Amino acid sequence: MKYEQWKRVPQDEAALRALSGCRISPLAAQTQAGRGIAKPEQAAAFLRSDEGMLHDPLRMRDMDRAVARVELALERGETIAVYGDYDVDGITSTALLTTFLRARGARVIPYIPDRLAEGYSLNTAAVTKLALQGAKLLITVDCGITNRKEADFARGIGVDVIITDHHECREELPRCCAVVNPHRSDCPYPYKDLAGVGVALKLALALTPEPERHRVLREYADLSTIGTVADVMNLTGENRAIVALGLKLLPQVRRPGLRALMRECSLEDKAITASTIGFTLAPRINAAGRMGCPQVALELLLTGDADRARSLAQSLCDLNRERQGIEQEIFSQCLALLEEHPELARDAIVLAGRDWHQGVVGIVASRLADRFSVPAFMICLDEEGRGKGSCRSWGGLNLFQSLEQAEQLLESFGGHELAAGFTILEEQIPAFRERMQSIARAHAAGRRVASQLTIDAVLDSAQLLSLENVADLQRLEPFGTGNPQPTFALTGATVSVLAPVGKGRHTRLKIIRDGVSFNAILFSYAPEDTGLRIGCKADLAFTVQINRFRDRSSVQLILSDWRPQLSLAQVDRLLYQRWRNGERFSPQEVDMLLPQRQDFVSVWRYLSAHAAADRFQDSPARLARNIARSAGQREAYARTMICLEVFQERGLIGLDGDASVVRIRINQVSGKVDLEQSAILRTLREMLED
């Protein structure tokens, strides 16, 4: 199991009836009803994704100043540098603005820093290099909002700067020609969730006469969509409109690089979804930046040469395979370390290593956060003891604010609520670990945050997972933050196939329920790690997709979580083990644990009748079963074992043993023993009252 709790979304039956009556499939209706959409007109408003949802780009603070300075550069014939980030959002932003300005006749130098050698965002060496190449105007995309010192440096050597960004702003902004960022506290722009590429698109639209904006939007919707989805932005409002348009246009995209990459990924002539971008296209573009060669991905998006595009697409796929191998090696190292030192996974994970590849630790941080249900901070150390870190959130912890609270320990930092980067000296790491664990602990209000999976609907029948119903879910696309892909659950499904795939890293399953069989896939878990076996029954949580292979379509389940279905006896044993571990219980669970008078009588009579020379030995499971049979009762393992603990506590027996054998010695006691004075019983009754 990956999640401790499954939270089922309450269903509004009236809303479900209203939506089902307007030609919405049961799966789509249950999803929308659970997300607060109660009427057909609300459903229509939610599904809207037309260009009319886009706001005037000139409503963004400083956009007018940015437009004026770019127009002046175009008029003067100045060289313009477009300075981006090395992730997918930054690379697509750089490609978009470079292509747009070149189409306007500008000489443009696109620049993306080397992740390994230069690090994130603006640096003075790069600014100097661009100035020597003749750049008079530097426009940042998807970066720059925290670079006050570098902006001052650029101005000092005669380079004007326009910053376009979407990351969190600090109190003091860089001093430059324009700072375009919807997160500025003084920015009136009504939509705050644009990606970096979304802000770059807005600049391009602001530079375009209004009658031509429709054409420009369609021309750059492909790049805007890939960057927005890859940066895990909220897919509501403007982002929904941009991404919906891009997904519609991508299958016929004219950009040679994207066509070549899609061909390399076997996506030609196939419907493209946000998941296709997130799991197939984006990782390959991102691999270039992670492995220290973002120029490969940038050139792919800029080239007009089909042959060159094909070669670059192959290189990206090779880089992605290399990245996967390095990532798995680091992840395995971290798992071994955390198994040996479990205290390092409490509240927040902060790990550092000298031989780690800086480009992949962000992905490892994400996997660790998911596995251990805590925020994760991964730091790559160089030979001089300087560390570059990437972090991922868990449980709603705001990483940017958390790093602000540790600012005195850091050299620099920046990012979002959910993902961020920072630099730190090695000697500060212990204090930083302590600070992050303290912040995470306070955020959880002194309690460990239980990992939770939201279930949109528990399906009564597997027959609901028909091709038609699953296909109808596509009308809810694009899925992502703010509109997650629906997660469904089936209980009591039988596992008929359980096999390793992906060199043993993943598991392929076939499951049967209600006479219907489905193929399923579970990522990042080998079969031996699942606790499942062929023939067992399990409760499954999953998303669904239509798999097309050789002109045949079938429904495939992508498992989000699983729970082997336990018998009552297994539940009883696990309950007692939790009692031994000192856990607290719900009133319903205490009911299963708390012995009644008849339980004590049955256990004592059995021991008295079967003890030889006042001694008794048996396995706990057989003892509980035999006591139940002798008393004509249902087996109650947990209650039986707690009866023995109470007898021992009150001096009636001596008790030792383990999970495989229990040894009992009946003591000779004079007088009556009051079991009601047992501290064990008092503890259980207090839990019942709580």
Q: What is the pLDDT of residue 11?
A: 78
3-state secondary structure of 508: strand
In one-letter notation, the amino acid at residue 37 is I
pLDDT, tens digit, for every residue of 565-577? 877 777 788 889 8
Q: Work out the end-to-end distance of the chain between its first and last CA atoms, rounded to an integer number of angstroms.
A: 28
List the one residue out of 50, 49, 32 whose CA is nearest residue 40: 32
What counts of helices (H) and strands (E) characterise the chain? 25, 21
Residue 2 has pLDDT above 80, yes or no: no
Does the pLDDT at position 155 exceed 80? yes
Residue of 351, 297, 349 lying closest to 323 (CA atoms): 297
Per the prediction, the chain carries an average pLDDT of 91
How far is it, in rounded angstroms, from Cα 493 to Cα 628? Answer: 31
Strands 537-549 and 488-501: antiparallel
CA atoms 111, 116, 120, 123: torsion sign: negative
Q: Which residue has the higher pLDDT, 312 or 370?
A: 312
Dump pLDDT digits (tens) for 364-402. 999 999 888 899 999 999 888 999 999 999 888 899 999
Look up tokens 């910053």; give the residue.
Answer: 163
pLDDT at 493: 94
- Decide the pairing of beta strands 552-564 and 537-549: antiparallel
540 band by pLDDT with thresholds 50, 70 and 90: very high
Once rounded to an integer, what is the mean pLDDT over residues 334-343?
91
Q: What is the mean pLDDT of residues 522-528?
A: 89
Quick check: 195 and 228 in contact, CB under 8 A? yes
- In the three-class reduction of DSSP (H, G, I as helix; E, B as strand; rest coil), residue 620 is classed as helix
Torsion angle of alpha carbons 182, 183, 189, 193, nearest 10°? 70
Domains by residue range for the chain, with CATH = 5-47+454-564 (2.40.50.460), 53-318 (3.90.1640.30), 341-443 (3.10.310.30), 568-689 (1.10.10)
| 687: confidence class by pLDDT, cuts 50, 70, 90 | confident
146: closest CA among 126, 115, 112, 121?
A: 121
DSSP string, 220-287: HHHHHHHHHHHTT-B-SHHHHHHHHHHHHHGGG---HHHHHHHHHTT-TTS---HHHIIIIIHHHHHH
pLDDT value of residue 262: 96
Which of 191-195, 456-460, 548-552 is the least confident region?
548-552
Q: Which residues pair with 266 in a beta bridge?
A: none
What local confidence, expressed as pLDDT, does residue 414 receive? Answer: 83
Structure-block tokens of residue 463: 């027959």
Query: Per-residue pLDDT for 270 more than 60?
Result: yes
What's residue 448's pLDDT? 53
Please state, in angstroms and rounded to a whole number, the distance separating the CA atoms of residues 592 and 428.
50
Contact 120, 89 (CB under 8 A): no
pLDDT mean over 653-680: 90
The 10s digit of each residue's pLDDT in 554-563 is: 999 999 999 8
Write down the pLDDT at residue 447.
53
Pull the structure tokens for residue 482: 């703010």
Stretch 592-615: mean pLDDT, rounded?
Answer: 91
Measure Cα distances from 351 to 373, 420, 667, 688 in Å.
15, 15, 54, 41
Quote the DSSP letter at residue 354.
S
- Selected residue with higher pLDDT from 459 and 548: 459
pLDDT at residue 112 tops 90: yes
Q: 212 pLDDT exceeds 90?
A: yes
Least confident of 2-11, 398-407, 435-444, 609-618: 2-11
Measured CA to CA in angstroms, residue 579 lies from 582, 584, 591, 657 at distances of 5, 8, 13, 17
Q: Is the peptide bond before 484 cis (omega within 30 degrees of 0)?
A: no
Asked whether 60 and 189 are in contact (CB, 8 A), the reply is yes
**What digits encode the pLDDT tens for the residues 485-506?**
999 999 999 999 999 998 888 9
- What dihedral do alpha carbons 16, 18, 22, 23 form, nearest 10°? 20
Q: What is the pLDDT of residues 427-446, one digit of tens each?
A: 999 999 999 999 998 888 75
| 412-415, strands of its sheet edge to edge | 349-353, 376-381, 386-392, 419-425, 412-415
Residue 567 has a pLDDT of 72
pLDDT bucket at 450, cuts 50 / 70 / 90: low
